[in-house]
């Protein structure tokens, strides 16, 4: 496995993820957010279990521990991102989620003792400026949804680094199944305990479940767990930085969302900061 080939697979995962912001925002009209996340991950776990039952039966203690940690991070991240979509635009959610690439090097420094380069700091400054314009009073004010999504981006940055460590010492199927199952259980439990649950089965909602569970959860989690180990967390996060721009285009096409000139400037600064952070030497 070459790094280039692995990164092409990760790019495919980013393309799949970019379509989730708009369709999940639409789906939240028919399902409460944590229930949606729980059912999405539960369906993915069931499909994976049926496909790889013999392999899953051999899960060991290490995979259970590591997968549970990853599942906890995924659960927190997806909960914040999905609940946030109730209060913010899908376009803004995509750009703010893209800030994962800024937080990933910070966690690498803390966990793997790698100091950030000067370009990382310049990138952070550009991203902060972009976030201001994207959520400025004259454009779209910073709201609860933006805050929840920003928190999710922080958690996803930590997830990237932890996955880099855990994926190298576990069977891919074991790790994928445990983290998906744990995310499902945590989300369903959180839904039962902390939200007003509702679910209106429609053709569109069922189609969204199929897309998000099979493609945007099962397939992409397997791809990330299997192939991120052949590159670095920071390079992987850079690849995923394509996601916000694609999410904005899809949200404009499907939902007619427009963030205004300041929003476009802010989104451009966020993408620019991400690129400066990771491409400059």
Q: Does residue 216 contact residue 17 with C-beta atoms inside 8 Å? A: yes
d(CA 167, CA 198): 36
Q: Does residue 240 contact residue 17 with C-beta atoms inside 8 Å? A: yes
d(CA 125, CA 115): 17
* More confidently predicted of 188 and 90: 188
pLDDT at 186: 95
**Average pLDDT of every residue of the chain:** 85
Q: Does residue 32 contact residue 197 with C-beta atoms inside 8 Å? A: yes
Q: How many CB atoms lie within 10 A of CB 123?
A: 25
DSSP 241: T
pLDDT at 122: 80
pLDDT at 51: 92
Q: What is the pLDDT of residues 169-183, one digit of tens each?
A: 999 999 999 999 999
3-class SS at 14? helix
pLDDT at 259: 65
Q: What is the pLDDT of residues 118-157, one digit of tens each?
A: 776 787 778 778 777 766 655 567 788 999 999 999 999 9
pLDDT at 101: 75
Domain ranges of the chain: 3-86+143-257
Q: Of the candidates 90, 81, 92, 70, which has an alpha carbon nearest to the alpha carbon of residue 165?
A: 70
d(CA 57, CA 34): 28
pLDDT at 281: 54
Q: What is the pLDDT of residues 205-264, one digit of tens each?
A: 999 999 999 999 899 989 998 998 888 777 777 777 777 777 777 777 777 766 677 777
Tokens in use for 105?
């090097």
């Amino acid at each position: 496995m070459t790094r280039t080939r692995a990164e092409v697979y990760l790019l495919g995962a980013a393309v799949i993820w970019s379509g989730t912001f708009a369709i999940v925002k639409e789906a939240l009209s028919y399902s409460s957010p944590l229930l949606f996340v729980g059912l999405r991950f539960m369906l993915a776990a069931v499909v994976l279990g049926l496909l790889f039952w013999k392999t899953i039966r051999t899960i060991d203690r290490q995979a259970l521990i590591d997968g549970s940690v990853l599942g906890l991070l995924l659960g927190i991240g997806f909960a914040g991102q999905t609940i946030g979509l109730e209060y913010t635009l899908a376009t803004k959610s995509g750009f703010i989620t893209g800030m994962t690439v800024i937080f990933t090097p910070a966690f690498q420094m803390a966990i793997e003792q790698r100091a950030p380069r000067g370009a990382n700091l310049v990138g952070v400054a550009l991203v902060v400026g972009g976030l201001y314009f994207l959520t400025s009073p004259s454009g779209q004010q910073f709201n609860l949804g933006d805050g929840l999504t920003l928190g999710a981006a922080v958690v996803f940055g930590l997830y990237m680094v932890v996955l880099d460590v855990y994926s190298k010492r576990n069977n891919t199927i074991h790790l994928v199944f445990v983290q998906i199952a744990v995310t499902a259980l945590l989300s369903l439990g959180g839904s039962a305990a902390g939200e007003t649950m509702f679910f209106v089965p429609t053709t569109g909602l069922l189609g969204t479940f199929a897309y998000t569970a099979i493609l945007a959860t099962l397939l992409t989690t397997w791809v990330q767990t299997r192939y991120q180990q052949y590159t670095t967390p920071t390079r992987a996060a850079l690849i995923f930085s394509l996601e916000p721009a694609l999410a904005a285009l899809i949200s404009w096409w499907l939902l007619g969302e427009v963030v205004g000139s300041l929003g476009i400037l802010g989104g451009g600064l966020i993408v620019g900061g991400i690129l400066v952070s990771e491409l400059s030497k």
